[in-house]
Amino acid sequence: MSIQDSDQGRPGGDDTAFLLRQPATSRERPGKVYLVGGGPGDPELLTVRGARLIGSADALVYDHLVGKGILELARADAEMHYVGKEAGAHTLPQEDINLLLVRLAQRGLQVVRLKGGDPFIFGRGGEEIEELVQHHIPFEVVPGVTAASGMSAYAGIPLTHRDFAQSCIFTTGHLKDGTCNLDWPVLARPNQTVVIYMGVGGLGEISRKLQEHGMDPRTPAAVVQYATLPQQRSVVGTIASLPALVQAQGIKPPALIVIGQVVRLHRQLAWFRPREALSQA
Ligand code: SAH
């Protein structure tokens, strides 16, 4: 029932009750937040649902891993909020991002919170949604192609393979307390693929710890920077040789480390070579 219907036939007294209710926009169309995965970089890898929501949103809240081609899908009159989030240089603290989403939705806006890759893989999407839940703000989550999948496809490194890897682990090289204290015995096991997000800064330590925990120093390993984008670069070596190779090539984030026998397949399967700077150990 609309406000007009309920007020019909009751002039006078109910007018003040009407004024005390929500502002007009949120009454007619309550705000909602769509947590959308923007994919790994190539705008063509955005989901159809993500593209449609971005194209109709009143407001977009995005960080630095979201490509320009994706932002161009936004309405010309959409509010654009850049909230940064480069490693070590958070433009807006996480709590402020959470509150910004709440505030925009409370104004009755359809908000797209656009995150790189998939919002629930090292994306802190869960934290942002918890805040929305606390404020009773409706939300939906739209998955995205995570960086590991984009890298795998575009660098020609399958994440699993019947002969080489029966399982695959996604882990982060950058913990909340700034350390890199991972479950080394598990990561050092054979017959699996390990993909490390946010690990380039800690690559030296990662390489050392894995070998200390029994990984064969000859295990193939690669770093792929700007996966799926025209600037994509792959550096391929072994877990022992990779840190020096990556340093020599000056590879900086965003980049993924991928470790395991599947890395061997890169030579044959890499089809996307916009400007490969290949290094072989
Ligand atoms: N939610 C994102 C991950 C965010 S964490 C996802 O699902 O992909 C940020 C890290 O992701 C970066 O430090 C880097 O390790 C990785 N990453 C994101 N985009 C990348 C890209 N195009 N190429 C290589 N690594 C990428």
Min mean pLDDT across 35-39, 46-50, 68-72, 113-117 is at 68-72
User: In the predicted model, is pLDDT for residue 280 greater than 60?
Assistant: no
What does the DSSP assignment read for 83-96?
---BTTB-SS-HHH
Q: Is 85 a catalytic residue?
A: yes
How would residue 241 be classed by pLDDT, with cut points 50, 70 and 90? very high
User: In the predicted model, is pLDDT for residue 19 greater than 90?
Assistant: no
Q: State residue 68 phi and psi, 5-degree precision.
A: -60, -40
Q: Alpha helices of the chain — where are they, by DSSP H?
A: 3-7, 15-20, 24-28, 48-56, 68-71, 94-106, 125-134, 147-155, 184-187, 203-212, 242-249, 266-269
Q: What is the DSSP letter of 233?
A: E
Query: Would the CB of 62 count as within 6 Å of ligand 1?
Result: no
Segment 138-169, tens digit of pLDDT: 999 999 999 999 999 999 999 999 999 999 99
Q: Is 58 a catalytic residue?
A: no
Please name the residue whose Cα sits nearest to atom 18 of ligand 1: 147
* Residue-range domains of the chain with CATH: 13-145 (3.40.1010.10), 148-276 (3.30.950.10)
> Taking a C-beta distance cutoff of 8 angstroms, is the pair 249, 235 a contact?
yes
* Mean pLDDT over the full length of the chain: 87
**Cβ count within 10 A of residue 47:** 16
Q: Which of 32, 85, 115, 118 is catalytic?
A: 85
Segment 90-118, tens digit of pLDDT: 578 889 999 999 999 999 999 999 999 99
Q: Which of 32, 42, 58, 63 is catalytic?
A: 63
Query: Would the CB of 40 count as within 6 Å of ligand 1?
Result: yes
Task: Tell me how far the alpha carbon of residue 107 lies from the centroid of ligand 1, in angstroms.
Answer: 31
